Amino acid sequence: MNILFAMTSAEYVRFYDETIQLLAARGHHIALAVNQQRDTKPVRLEHVQDEGRVVALGLVPERAGVWAPIADGLRGIMDFARYLHPRLASAPALRARMKRKALPRGFYFLDSVRSLGVTGTRLLLKALTVLQRAIPSSPAVEAFLREHKPDVVLVSPLVDARSDQVELVKAAHALGLPVGACIPSWDNLTNKGLMRVQPDAVIVWNEAQKREAVEYHAVSPDSVVVTGAQPFDRWFTRKPSTTREEFCQRAGLPSARPFILYTCSSSFISISLAELEFVRSWIVAVRANAALADMPILVRPHPYNFGAWATAAFPNQPGVVIWPSQQYNPMEEQSRDGFFDSLFHSAAVVGINTSAMIEAAILGRPVLSMSTKEFSRTQEGTVHFHYLLPENGGFLRLASTLEEHVAQLAHVMSHQDEARAETRRFVSSFIRPRGLDVACTPLVADAIEALGRRGSRPVERTPWWAPALWPVLFAGSAYAGAWWLATDPKAVKSLRKKAGARIYRAQKSMKKGVRIGLDRLLRSR
């Protein structure tokens, strides 16, 4: 089976590298592609290439022509409109981010609407979906698929803001190819954009994500496949690469006492400088507790939010280290060893809101956090964070004050068994719903193979009624463009720059054509 796996960017490979390797071992051919290359993140498709079975194609072609800005703007409106759902309207940080990243300026008035209710939001999204269907599929993307001849098309995550992976799904459906959407992380279905088009299969971790897919993305329940969380399989069988004494020596920690691990969060969850200042205050509070006064502390920067920590230090706090001290690639085995060893050898893990908390739970470590003013919008103000709380079957000990948090931290240091019971309950429902001893990666591969066995699907072409809606789409695009020119001081300059570039390319092409024509004329003589 030939599989085309397109990801928004290469950083998503880390969620599916073992799945890709397993599919290749089963005899399938996998072609990897991305919709954009983020040079700021040290990950490339070549990291998972395998001669003969896994190849990197590079970038999926972008849509061009008159439909490109219309499709892009409509996707942005749909992404924001989902936050008019009453449950998502109560997540102000997510809504504000989507407005900034996706919503065209001319439609900012939508932000004045608090919520349309469940029914109102569903009706609005249905109307926008009809407009989405009226846009023809991209000829360039269809040609890309014809060239590589896949039996199955996979996309991940499909729900990024204004994601042009929609074009890949539409093109695949126009060619009768089955499409699977792979949801890579626990927060993707609630803190990103709308699915906008319906794949033939949506592969998720657990029943909670299945409910999210159905409720927030209007996916048919029959299309959702629950496999468990395959990115975490490696942590169930992995062994530490060092002894505790060796690790402490490597990281620069004193080894006489157990250490506390603080895991930093992504840039969205915690603005780097704000988290740095918070950690300083947190360390002072921990040191003020008699039971924790001389407890070593390891601060581990997030791999994609390293900036503020590169030059940070705690010179007045002995026994506190920042490690790794240099930018690292989370996909490299050495980095994974270091991360695993950090969790395995720690006595307790603290953070704001990060998936490292889940990995700590898999290893049975106590995990703690505190509800802070600085980060409340990206803690309680997100949907996925609530899955970690005990009242929802989670394991996270969330304190309302720093003093309460320090008391909890001192308690768990001597009551490790309580934490193991809490984390085991969470892991068995959220991470491995098919059984604690059942690996998830083979289940994801099985779901992909099952999608391939369906064979071709009915071809979906642009509906016959689509031309009747084109005036609406063109009018909306013209309105958004006029608003942009009228309200953005940089708009005219940007437009002139783009126009100038196009004129330059046209002139260059014309000159080249004249030279070729003259050359042929001279040769003919």
Q: What is the mean pLDDT of residues 320-336?
A: 86
Least confident of 47-56, 248-257, 488-497: 488-497
Q: Is the pLDDT of residue 43 over 50?
A: no
pLDDT at position 214 is 96
CB atoms within 10 A of CB 480: 21
Q: Is the pLDDT of residue 493 over 90?
A: no
- For the entire predicted model, the pTM comes to 0.85
Inter-residue contact 187 to 167 (CB < 8 Å) = no
CATH superfamily of 1-229+438-487: Glycogen Phosphorylase B; (3.40.50.2000)
Per-residue pLDDT reduced to its tens digit, 364-401: 999 999 887 777 777 777 888 888 988 888 999 999 99
Per-residue pLDDT reduced to its tens digit, 144-177: 999 999 999 999 999 999 999 999 999 999 999 9
Inter-residue contact 364 to 357 (CB < 8 Å) = no
pLDDT at position 302 is 87
Average pLDDT score over the chain = 88
pLDDT band at 130 (very low <50, low <70, confident <90, very high): very high
Q: What is the mean pLDDT of residues 488-510?
A: 61
Where are the extended beta strands (E) located within 296-427? Answer: 297-300, 320-322, 348-351, 367-370, 397-399
pLDDT at position 378 is 73
What are the boundaries of each domain within the chain?
Answer: 1-229+438-487, 234-431, 489-518
Share of the chain above pLDDT 90, in %: 63
Token reading at 521: 């004329």
Q: Is the pLDDT of residue 272 over 60?
A: no
**269 against 292, higher pLDDT:** 292
Q: Is the pLDDT of residue 63 over 60?
A: yes
pLDDT at position 52 is 75
Q: Identical fold at 1-229+438-487 and 234-431?
A: yes
CATH number of 234-431: 3.40.50.2000
pLDDT at position 282 is 93
Least confident of 85-89, 102-106, 296-300: 85-89
Handedness of CA 328, 331, 333, 336 (dihedral sign): positive
Least confident of 72-76, 102-106, 328-332: 328-332
Q: Which residue has the tokens 């994801």?
A: 444
Q: Is the pLDDT of residue 301 over 60?
A: yes
Nearest to 458 by CA among 195, 179, 136: 179
β-bridge partners, 204: 226
pLDDT at position 42 is 44
Q: Is the pLDDT of residue 41 over 50?
A: no
pLDDT band at 292 (very low <50, low <70, confident <90, very high): very high
Q: Is the pLDDT of residue 345 over 60?
A: yes
Q: Is the pLDDT of residue 518 over 70?
A: no
β-bridge partners, 3: 30, 152
Q: Is the pLDDT of residue 46 over 70?
A: no
pLDDT band at 491 (very low <50, low <70, confident <90, very high): low
Least confident of 48-52, 96-100, 305-309, 518-522: 518-522
CB atoms within 10 A of CB 49: 15
Share of the chain above pLDDT 70, in %: 90
Q: What is the mean pLDDT of residues 464-471?
A: 94
Per-residue pLDDT reduced to its tens digit, 391-437: 888 999 999 999 999 999 999 988 878 888 889 999 999 999 999 99
Residues 6+ positions from 272 with CB-CB distance below 8 Å? 305, 307, 308, 309
**5 against 56, higher pLDDT:** 5
Separation of alpha carbons 134 and 201, rounded Å: 23
Q: Is the pLDDT of residue 39 over 60?
A: no
pLDDT band at 506 (very low <50, low <70, confident <90, very high): low
